[in-house]
Chains A and B, each alone.
Chain A
Amino acid sequence: MTESDRDAWITGLGMLSALGEGPEAHWQRLNEARPGADATTFAPYLVHPLAAVDFDKQIPKRGDQRQMEAWQRIGTYTAGLALESAGAKGHAELLGRMDMIVAAGGGERDISADGTILSGLRDAEKPAVFLNERLMSELRPTLFLAQLSNLLAGNISIVHGVTGSSRTFMGEEAAGVDAVRIALSRIGAGQSDIALVGGAHNGERKDMVMQYAFGGYLLKDRYRPVWERMPDGGFALGSFGAFLVIEASASARARGAKPFARVATVVSDRSRRRPGEVIAQLRQMWADLAPRLDPEHVAVISGATGTEPATGEERAFFAEHPEIVVRATASHLGLGPEPQFAMNIAIASLAVQYGRLFPPVDGTGVERPTDRLITQAVVTSIGHWRGEGMALVEAVR
């Protein structure tokens, strides 16, 4: 067994977002460089809604679809795309030993039931008893399963037959980073040969809008690209799913699967977000990757959310490295904390595969046009609240 047998190849890409479905649609839309968001449905908040999708194509049983809330449908659908892209769909033997790590949130609420109950609670003589009665009658029994974090993975097992293992990581952006990091470490060490990794997010939810409004995180009134949100900052929620099939190169070669790219490494850490800690983390992680980088041919696919002060520190880091060309994908996709890292690795894979970068959408100078050949892409993830991570994605020659 040589070292290169345990290279982590990306052999499947599943992408579904406001930009459409699949790698080609994403690459085309990113190259059109005309980002935008829906400013009316959740006004004054901006949201990047999911493109039209026919869920029947990956989740053929309507009964299965009814058992899921939107985030699970998005994820199960996208996982199907990734498996199809890897040539793994329907291959029972392969799926039976495929490991799965899903980054998940959860808890999609029944908005109207919540409203009715809250209104009733206001005047209820015995509020606790009223709540018991109403929950017993208003909650759909299956809604619980549609809310549970690990049930995206559960639905992927049921619909697509991935049964080697199933682990769900929670914790917003960091969960997405660590899902890829752990899958990669296991493959590198021979603890796993092939893994389905990713997540899904439904940003078109008033309960989610409320949660982030508590923290004062949301972009309001007018769409602006990520780097143009100073000084207040803010993110726009996005609906999207992203899954990767990551595979030991030996496994991929044995079954004749072609790589989109290689994930050379993933690093992650957690700072407490005191001023200057984000930029310190970025410097450290960049230093970790630096020995492997080819400065002439590397691009950054940034996970900047637009949240201040985190995005400001990331901007300051790039100012220290004027040679780096940067693109922040949240300008196009919005923020889906859990699937964001997998999505950006997918986009990085496309960049190194095409050997070039898509145009900038930024008037502040962080993103600059480039025509250089791109063979490496560093993916950054600075969570809106916590979690810092970086991946290096490379072309496979």
Chain B
Amino acid sequence: MASRLNGRNRPIVVVTGMGVATSLGAGKAENWRKLSAGESGIRTIRRFDTEGLKTRVAGTIDFVTVEPFCAPALCERLGEIVIEEALAESAIGSSGDFPGPLFLAVAPVEIEWQQRQEVAAACGANRDITYDDLIRAAESGKFRSIFERVVFASVADHLASTFGTKGSPISLSTACASGATAIQLGVEAIRRGETDAALCVATDSSVNQESLIRFSLLSALSTHNDPPHAAAKPFAKNRDGFVMAEGAGALVLERLGAATARGARILGVVEGCGETADSFHRTRSSPDGKPIIGSIRNAIADAQLEPEDIDYINAHGTGTPENDKMEYLSLAAVLGERVKAVPISSNKSMIGHTISAAGSVEAIFSLLTLEHQRIPPTINYEVPDPAIPLDVVPNVARDARVTHVISNSFGFGGQNASLVLAREPL
């Protein structure tokens, strides 16, 4: 019934600018160099005291500082850094005037303990502190800046002002699939003909005490603290959880015709997007894999390709026992026997799980894989899991012919999103 806008006349969506920051460093060049050398950005957490915690490692971004420190402030700064890189490469619009909308994947914002303690100190209570005391202190008007920082729209609002994006900026969360969803929203807007360009950004800087502890209480995190670089072990039999990490990615998406007309360099093509929601459980995938399978198949169908056309998979590959098994089973259902032969690797083995930013950061790494015709490895793959017979490009990067890549992102709350990326427009 739906005319899915998938005929030959559908606009082709290309990438003309990319920017990335991870625990490996800022910029495409440094990230790609370290990624293809199999280097890890995971380190012992120095940002706060980890005494008493089971997990004491993360992929923090320590080379960027913000004052006063809080997650949304770092999030915003990382966003600025990657957008600047992407815009410089794309050379679209002019300074402070991006000719299209902003789609921003960002972690939900919350008041943090540092801020809460500042308010508590101002309320001057000698007895036990309650929210009534905090509210009284809040009334003083001295904490207006906290409001401006914790309102959910603030990061997108500031980035929209800085870069002059058009219309209402959309902040979104599909948990660990957010980065991919931001790209999908941009692709859809261009295909609808609403805009010739979209700025699709994802940024996450969630390594703080409470966030780390929350994931830890869900038994989701690796507790392999020593050495830190060996903590993330996607697809290995001894994998024991993901490693929290910070990162950001920005992509300038454009309609091919518009990009060509202005002489832009085409860095890659977003050929297809697929998504589904899983109704099985809040943190676990449906055991039959149907939602993940559906997401991958939808992306391939949207790209007007067949599973045989896929020659590399940039895995979600978190390194949790459950995810990696389900991702394998689902890929096996889609690719059949070929699943053992198609190379698959997890960037998270090196950069950790950048959560809201992962879908964007890994889409960029997928495009760099296509550009360099070189597949970054899955490091820390010392103990193969016989239940997951995949070619994970173990430990060392590999030159290969890569034409169509699937990048997977799956998240809590039953979120599944998959992208199909290519080097050249068909």
> Which A positions have Cβ atoms within 8 angstroms of B?
1, 67, 100, 104-107, 111, 114-116, 118-119, 121-122, 126-129, 131-133, 135-136, 139, 141, 143-145, 147-151, 153-155, 157-158, 161-172, 174-175, 177-178, 181-182, 185-186, 188-193, 206-207, 209-216, 248, 250-251, 254, 268-270, 272, 383, 385-389
Q: Chain A's nearest CB lies how many Å from the CB of B49?
A: 4
Please, which residues of chain B bring their CB within 8 A of the CB of A104?
173
Listed by A's residue number, 14 A-B pairs whose Cβ atoms lie within 8 Å are A107-B110, A131-B209, A149-B108, A149-B152, A158-B280, A162-B277, A163-B414, A166-B413, A166-B415, A170-B171, A191-B192, A206-B135, A210-B131, A386-B151
Contact B192 A185 (CB under 8 A): yes
Given contacts A144-B217, A162-B277, contact A171 B152 (CB under 8 A): yes
Q: Which residue of B lies closest to A217 (CB)?
A: B147
Q: Chain A's nearest CB lies how many Å from the CB of B185?
A: 7
- The binding surface of chain A is classed by DSSP as helix
Contact B120 A214 (CB under 8 A): no
Please, which residues of chain A bring their CB within 8 A of the CB of B304?
none
Inter-chain CA distance A387–B153, complex, in Å, is 9
Asked if B95 CB lies within 8 Å of chain A CBs, one says no
Asked if B82 CB lies within 8 Å of chain A CBs, one says no
Choose from B138, B157, B214, B291 the contact partner of A163 (Cβ within 8 Å). B291
Q: Chain B's nearest CB lies how many Å from the CB of A58?
A: 15
Residue from B152, B191, B217 having most chain A Cβ neighbours under 10 A: B152
Name the 4 nearest CB pairs between A and B, nearest first. Answer: A154-B413, A171-B153, A166-B277, A215-B147
Q: Chain A's nearest CB lies how many Å from the CB of B289?
A: 14
Contact A270 B167 (CB under 8 A): yes
Inter-chain CA distance A111–B135, complex, in Å, is 12
Please, which residues of chain B bring their CB within 8 A of the CB of A385?
151, 153
Please, which residues of chain A bring their CB within 8 A of the CB of B50?
132
Inter-chain CA distance A140–B358, complex, in Å, is 26
For the A-B complex with A105-B152, A190-B3, A386-B151 known, give 11 more contacts whose Cβ atoms are closer than 8 Å.
Answer: A114-B131, A128-B49, A132-B49, A132-B209, A150-B175, A151-B282, A158-B282, A163-B277, A166-B174, A168-B174, A172-B151
Please, which residues of chain B bring their CB within 8 A of the CB of A216?
139, 141, 144
Q: Which residue of B lies closest to A115 (CB)?
A: B130
Choose from A1, A150, A207 the contact partner of B412 (Cβ within 8 Å). A150
Asked if B261 CB lies within 8 Å of chain A CBs, one says no
Please, which residues of chain B bring their CB within 8 A of the CB of A175?
152-153, 170-171
Asked if B51 CB lies within 8 Å of chain A CBs, one says yes
Stretch of B111-119, B225-233, B250-258, B331-339 on the interface side: B111-119
Contact B170 A193 (CB under 8 A): no
Contact A214 B143 (CB under 8 A): yes
Contact A171 B171 (CB under 8 A): yes
Inter-chain CA distance A211–B150, complex, in Å, is 8
Contact A118 B120 (CB under 8 A): yes
Please, which residues of chain B bring their CB within 8 A of the CB of A162?
277, 279
Please, which residues of chain B bring their CB within 8 A of the CB of A185?
189, 192, 194
Contact B181 A128 (CB under 8 A): no
Inter-chain CA distance A213–B193, complex, in Å, is 42
Contact A248 B146 (CB under 8 A): no
Please, which residues of chain B bring their CB within 8 A of the CB of A118?
116-117, 120, 129, 134
Inter-chain CA distance A101–B412, complex, in Å, is 16
Q: Chain A's nearest CB lies how many Å from the CB of B408?
A: 15
Contact B152 A170 (CB under 8 A): yes
Q: Chain B's nearest CB lies how many Å from the CB of A302?
A: 18
Please, which residues of chain B bring their CB within 8 A of the CB of A170?
106, 108-109, 152-153, 171-173
Choose from B139, B147, B151, B188 the contact partner of A191 (Cβ within 8 Å). B188
Please, which residues of chain B bring their CB within 8 A of the CB of A128?
48-49, 51, 209
Contact B168 A387 (CB under 8 A): yes
Q: Which residue of A lies closest to B113 (CB)?
A: A131
Asked if B238 CB lies within 8 Å of chain A CBs, one says no
Contact A164 B276 (CB under 8 A): yes
Given contacts A107-B110, A135-B209, A141-B218, contact A167 B132 (CB under 8 A): no
Given contacts A151-B282, A190-B4, contact A139 B213 (CB under 8 A): yes
Contact A111 B131 (CB under 8 A): yes
Please, which residues of chain A bring their CB within 8 A of the CB of B146?
214
Q: Chain B's nearest CB lies how many Å from the CB of A309?
A: 16
Q: Which residue of A lies closest to B116 (CB)?
A: A118
Inter-chain CA distance A129–B53, complex, in Å, is 9
Q: Chain A's nearest CB lies how many Å from the CB of B269?
A: 19
Contact A106 B108 (CB under 8 A): yes
Contact A270 B277 (CB under 8 A): no
Inter-chain CA distance A179–B135, complex, in Å, is 31
Please, which residues of chain A bring their CB within 8 A of the CB of B4?
190-191
Asked if B67 CB lies within 8 Å of chain A CBs, one says no
Q: Chain B's nearest CB lies how many Å from the CB of A245?
A: 16
Inter-chain CA distance A150–B152, complex, in Å, is 13
Contact A169 B172 (CB under 8 A): yes
Given contacts A178-B170, A214-B147, A269-B168, contact A207 B131 (CB under 8 A): yes
Q: Which residue of B lies closest to A132 (CB)?
A: B52
Q: Which residue of A lies closest to B193 (CB)?
A: A189
Please, which residues of chain A bring their CB within 8 A of the CB of B210?
135, 139
Choose from B128, B143, B216 the contact partner of A115 (Cβ within 8 Å). B128
Please, which residues of chain A bring their CB within 8 A of the CB of B217?
136, 139, 141, 144
Asked if B411 CB lies within 8 Å of chain A CBs, one says yes
Q: Chain A's nearest CB lies how many Å from the CB of B225?
A: 14
Asked if B275 CB lies within 8 Å of chain A CBs, one says yes
Contact A168 B147 (CB under 8 A): no
